[in-house]
Each structure stands twice: as structure tokens, then as C-alpha cells.
A and B are shown apart, each in its own frame.
Chain A
């Protein structure tokens, strides 16, 4: 028997929402304990700050330029490389329960495999893998899907429609009647994407994901090796946790985030020192991407709305922590605890009020770029608990899973197995992490390339419809942890900037050609 792997992802979770990372709003004892027993990464960086490219990176171990999912709405080819396929080939039982998002959700024609599985009532289907092998879809023996809403074609939605149809209307409608991300306000403050949801807690998707993961584990033989990707849709908006849980965090008691200057003039001064799309979005003049409500103007956000959003976000984080605790208990009950590796992370962050903004978009700052990442190696592996400060990327996850399983990392993986401490990182040359943004939506094109290295984050802008390609951002993560002082044009750090840009350009993978088509907005 080998080590078992529980890969836990959340969606759009900030680094500072976990107790072990200094968060004070949410109680996260389960994840905090994993961190205390394992490796806590202080600078984990995504290769994209939106779902589909980032999740594709987790699965393939490749940067967006290589796997080709350059924005939300671009489908990861069915025959893309997959770490799950490598583990399946090595004899692992493999499952993905929760949010996949390798293929677009907005799919009225039913063109994408993952949207059809629930209706077919099969655990998986055969697909062609990257090497021509035919095997279970993307290497997973078992697929059970959920997303942020009980509407649509996925398993959770079908279960809710069949078992609890009376509860459907309690959820927030993610899209409005124009199929844009909904801007409608709710709760006590009228905050966007907030609603009091009377759904019973055990019917909410967080508990459903844990329940279905446990059910899959219950079906395994005691001597099976397994890889379970448990993918919670929260704390991504909408912020509509079960109303029974709202008493956990009183929004009136929530402090404003450090990154939120409560003086509007100060917010605007900071935004004006950044490339122009920042201020244009804040003012409601430009919407460059689909991932935030089109009809919401960030400048209209009130301090109380922000408090209420962050309170509900914290509640969703707590529910995930408790759900994870149930799954770990189920694993222990099967006698697998000593051989269990747990990796906990998210696909990207959330602006969470930084600069007066929420949601996400082409903004390569810590709110979106600094991720929670914890690896609790199997106790049987006897890895010493530590904190790693060296930057690592989600691109490093797939080779890590291979290493845990005793499988050789494949040549198509661009990352390396996560370092077990800073000395290991230094010895193996961990130095830089790259992040890409490309979006072209209804005539608006934005393109960013970012390097995180030596406690600096440097973003190069490529020409688009909003930028001419001369813009950039440069922040010292040590001196300016809130990234409020853009030093791109500071002559005092010009040579550093040039070095970072050269390093970035030297290490960016070549873009896949031909470029994959945009199939849907999301």
C-alpha cells in the first residue's frame, strides 16, 4: 500500500482567511492543525487568477500558455495531460468531487463532456488521453460535480432539484436575466451577491461535497491507494451560506481590511498610480472581464457592505473547515490516517475590499495572488513541520502528487514537487513564479505577465485595447505589503525592474498555437 492523497481546493479564498495565516475572522481549527503538523507556504502564487486557467494548471502541471486555457470560457482539451491519469495508470483510484471547471459551464448546446455526466448517470466516461491511451475522463474513475448554484446540469443541481426543489429559490441567482454576473444586492446592507439563504445546512453544497467524498471513500477497498480531489465551490461568491449559520460572525463587528483605505480620495489616489484599467473599473467606466458583476460599480461599495461580504465569506470558510474535518474523520475511521497526505489550497484569491474592489480580474496583487497552501505529508513519511517562505506555484502541485505516489514526474509537467522547507527550495533552485492574464471579451482585451521573485512582484503589460504596452506595476512585498505604491516608474529601482522583466520574458513558456477558442463567457 502507498500513500493516499486528499487534495482539497476551495474557490477564490484569500490567504488571510485562515487562522494559521493570521486570519482572525474565521475559526479554522482543522486546517490550522494540518498546517501545524505539516508545511505552510507563505508565498503560494497561482499561474492565473481566474478559475478555468488555474484549475487547468493544477491538473496539468503546466502554465496557461502551455495548456492553452488562456481565459475563462476556453475549454481544456479533453486529451490534455492530467496528473490524475498518471496516478490512475499507477494503480490509484481517482475521484474529483465538487467543482471541476475545466470546461465552460454556460453550455446550452451540451457540447462539453463534464456538463453531461450527471444526466448520463455514470461515474465517468472514457476519453482519449494525451498519449493516445483511452481511459476514464481526464484520469478520474469517479466524477461528481457541483458549482456555486443549485441550478444547471451538474450532479449537485440535479440532486437538489430531485430531493429538495423547495430550497432552490433560497439561493442567490449567480447570473441575472441578461446572463451577466448578478449585481443584485441583499442581506442587511444591499451588498452585491449577498442573500439570506434559508437552505438547510446539510443541503448546502459545502456539506454535499464532503458527503459525496465520504461516500466515494466508503466504496474503496481497505488496501486501495487513492487520490481524491475534493473541490469546494465556496467561498467564491455568491455569499449565500445557510441562514442558520449567519450568527457565527456578526458583520457589524467585522473590521475593515488593512488594504481598504476608508477615505475615497485616498483610494482613488492609489488607484490612479496603477495602470488605467484599475480606476476605470472602480468608476464603472470599464468592465474588462466577466468574473465580476457587470452592472456593479466598485466606487459604490460601502464600508458596511464590505463588512457584510467579509462576514459571510468567513462563515463559508468555517463551513469548509468543518466539512474537511468530517472527511478526515472518515479517513481515520478507515485506518488510513497514517498514510494520508493532505494538500489544501485554492485556485485564486479574492480582492475582498482591497483598494475598494471586490471579486477578481486583471489585478495581480496579493488579494488575488497570495494563496493559502498547506501540505500535510503523511505522518508515515515523517516530514518535519515547517513554514516555507520561498515562492511556489500551483504549477508545482501535479509533480508533488506524483512524488507522493512514487510516480516519476512526466516531462510535460513544468513545475517541480513542492519543497519541504526553505533549504530544500534553495537547493533545488526555487526562485521565481510566473502568472499570466489574458482576456478578450466583447471588444476589450487585457494582457498581463507577472513575475514574483526576491520579495518583489513585477507585472508587464502587453498591448491591448486599454493599454499600449508601456505600462507596468512593481511592488516591494517587504516594504509595501498592501501593494499601494507602484514603483514601475521609480528610477531608483529601474535596474531591478529591468532584471525582473528580463527574467520574466526568459522563463515564460511559448504560447500554444493555434490559440484555443473562447467557447463561452465562463
Chain B
């Protein structure tokens, strides 16, 4: 049996959710980094400038993120939180096709300090639940932004 201390490991958390829509439909939301605040509870504002996304949390914290991967072929989105408490961070969101109207969305974060991975894990669970709710009901601000971009903008 291998035993290690918390201090010796980087925190790594993964959450996943099966969503009853096509992978392409889920990717329409996930692949749009400027829409994150529409489906991630606790992020109230989000702006993208080139490869940098800046988010503002419900506690008023502002964090800059580097967008590292936005690959529509693999349906993989990766980013790194570049400010705040983090010495190191990498988040990956993958949308995996399970059937014509069914997909698996995984959301993982590796973080140093390790406790931040746990904090992110809880928030990621909430985000996946909200993503599923909006996609499966075809209603919500992220769906509006994808389907009716002009109305959502106004």
C-alpha cells in the first residue's frame, strides 16, 4: 500500500457528468470561453482578450487565465489560472461523444496549493450541473448566447 502526505502531492480533482445532448451541442457552449460566467456558478463576469480570459468571482476576486487549448476536433478546452493563490494550475474540460444525443463532459483541475484543487472541484461540480441543466432544457443564458447571439448581446 502506498501512503503519501498531502504536502507531497499536487492537488488533482476530476468531475464528470453525462449530458443528454450531442457532443457537438455541448461543445458549442464549452468551446466558447467568453460564456463561462453563464454556466459556472460563482463566476459573475468574464472577458476574453486574445489568449487571456479574466474572470470575476462572486466574492469580487479577479483572476486572469491563460487559454492553452481550444480544440474543436478533440473537443478539449484547457486553461491555466495565472494569478491569485496558485503556484501552478491546469484545468481541462473534455466533451466525449457517447451517442448521437449523449455525451460525457469531464472537468479536471490540477493545482498547487493542493487545497485549491478541492475548492475548484466543488465549483466544477456546480458548473457541470448547471451546464447539464441548460443544455438538457435548452434554456438559460449560455444557450441564449449560443442560439441567439444578437438577442443575448442586447
Contact across chains for A517 and B11 when beta carbons are under 8 A apart: no
Of the listed stretches B27-35, B114-122, B135-143, B145-153, name the one at the interface; the rest are far from the partner chain.
B114-122
Q: Does A382 contact B (CB under 8 A)?
A: no
Closest to A104 in B: B122
Asked if B118 and A521 make an inter-chain contact with CB atoms under 8 angstroms apart, the answer reads yes
* B6 on the A face (CB < 8 A): yes
A284 at the interface (CB under 8 A from B): yes
> What residues on A are CB-neighbors of B7 within 8 Å?
180, 287, 294-295
List of A residues within 8 angstroms of B116 by Cβ: 179
Q: How far is the CA of A520 from the CA of B122 in the complex (A)?
A: 6
The smallest beta-carbon distance between B64 and chain A, in angstroms, is 14
Which residue of A106, A153, A280, A287 contacts B6 across the interface (Cβ within 8 Å)?
A287
With both chains docked as a complex, state the minimum distance between the C-beta of B111 and any C-beta of chain A, in angstroms: 10
**Which residue of B1, B6, B122 is within 8 Å of A518 (Cβ)?**
B122
* Cβ–Cβ < 8 Å partners of A442 in chain B: 6, 9, 11-12, 114, 117-118
- Give every chain A residue within 8 A of B43 (Cβ-Cβ): 109
Q: Which B27-76 residues sit within 8 Å CB-CB of chain A?
A: 41-43, 57-61
A517-B115 contact given A287-B5, A442-B11, CB 8 Å threshold: no
- Chain B CB count within 10 A is highest, among A104, A116, A521, for A521
Task: Answer whether residue A519 sits at the interface, using C-beta atoms and an 8 A cutoff.
Answer: yes
B125: CB under 8 A from chain A? yes
Contacts of B84 in A (CB 8 A): 108
Separation of A286 and B1 alpha carbons in the complex (Å): 12
Judge whether B121 and A284 touch: CB under 8 Å.
Answer: no
A73 neighbours in B (Cβ, 8 Å):
118, 122
Q: How far is the CB of A110 from chain B (nearest CB, A)?
A: 3
The docked-state distance in angstroms from the alpha carbon of A106 to that of B1 is 31
Q: Is A107's CB within 8 Å of the partner chain B?
A: yes
Considering only CB atoms and an 8 Å cut-off, how many residues of chain A contact the other chain?
A: 34
Question: Among residues 270 to 284 in chain A, which have CB atoms less than 8 Å away from a CB atom of chain B?
Answer: 280, 284
In the bound complex, CA of A172 to CA of B60 (Å): 25
Query: Do A111 and B123 touch across chains, with their CB atoms under 8 A apart?
Result: yes
Checking B1, B5, B12, B113 against A179 with a beta-carbon cut-off of 8 angstroms, the contacting residue is B113
Return A253 CB to nearest CB of chain B, in Å.
Answer: 35
A40–B43 alpha-carbon span in the complex (Å): 49
Q: Would A116 and B118 count as touching, CB distance under 8 A?
A: no
**For residue A520, which residues in chain B have a CB less than 8 angstroms away from its CB?**
115, 118-119, 122
Establish whether residues B118 and A110, one from each chain, have CB atoms under 8 Å apart when the complex forms: no
A444 in the interface (beta carbon within 8 A): yes
Give B1-23 as 1s and 0s: 1 = Cβ < 8 Å from A's Cβ atoms.
10111110101100000000000
For residue B117, which residue of chain A has the nearest CB? A442
A519 to B120, CA, bound (A): 8
Known: A111-B123, A521-B119. A443 touches B4 (CB 8 A): yes
**Docked-complex contact A107 and B59, CB < 8 angstroms:** yes
What residues of A have a CB within 8 angstroms of the CB of B85 in the complex? 108, 179
Using Cβ atoms and an 8 Å threshold, which residues of chain B touch A108?
Answer: 42, 57, 59, 61, 84-85, 119
Closest Cβ of chain B: how far from A507's Cβ, in Å?
31
Greatest chain A CB density within 10 A among B1, B85, B113, B115 is at B115
In the bound complex, what is the Cα–Cα distance between A311 and B121 (angstroms)? 39
A117 in the interface (beta carbon within 8 A) = no
Nearest neighbor of B3 in chain A, beta-carbon distance: A286
Q: Which residue of A lies closest to B43 (CB)?
A: A109
**Residues 63-116 of B at the A interface (beta carbon under 8 Å):** 84-85, 112-116
Say yes or no for A483: interface residue by CB 8 A criterion: no
The verdict on A290 contacting chain B, using a C-beta distance below 8 Å, is yes
Q: How far is the CB of B129 from chain A (nearest CB, A)?
A: 10
Name the residue on A nearest B127 (C-beta): A109
Query: Is A441 at the interface (CB under 8 A from chain B)?
Result: yes
When distances are taken between beta carbons in the complex, the residues of chain B under 8 Å from A521 are 115, 118-119
| Chain B residues whose C-beta falls within 8 Å of the C-beta of A485 in the assembled complex | none
Residues of A within 8 A of B9 (CB): 442-443
Expressed in whole angstroms, the minimum distance between the Cβ of B53 and any Cβ of chain A is 15
Contact status A178-B41, CB under 8 Å: no
Q: Which of A115, A179, A285 contacts B115 (CB 8 A)?
A: A179
Using A287-B5, A443-B9, A521-B115 as known contacts, say yes or no to A109 and B123 having CB atoms under 8 A apart: yes
Tell me if A110 and B57 are in contact (CB < 8 A): yes
Quick one: given A109-B58, A179-B85, A517-B125, are A441 and B113 in contact (CB under 8 Å)?
no
Sample of 14 further A-B pairs with CB below 8 A, known A109-B119, A287-B7: A108-B59, A108-B84, A109-B41, A180-B113, A180-B115, A286-B3, A286-B4, A442-B117, A443-B4, A465-B3, A519-B119, A519-B123, A521-B115, A521-B119
Q: Which residues of B contact A (CB under 8 A)?
A: 1, 3-7, 9, 11-12, 41-43, 57-61, 84-85, 112-119, 121-123, 125-126
Question: 7 closest A-B pairs (Cβ-Cβ)?
Answer: A109-B42, A110-B58, A519-B122, A178-B113, A110-B59, A179-B115, A111-B42
Show 23 A/B contacts (Cβ-Cβ < 8 Å), sorted by A: A104-B122, A106-B115, A106-B119, A107-B59, A107-B119, A108-B61, A110-B58, A111-B41, A111-B123, A111-B126, A178-B115, A180-B6, A286-B4, A294-B5, A295-B7, A442-B6, A442-B11, A442-B12, A442-B118, A517-B121, A518-B122, A519-B119, A519-B122
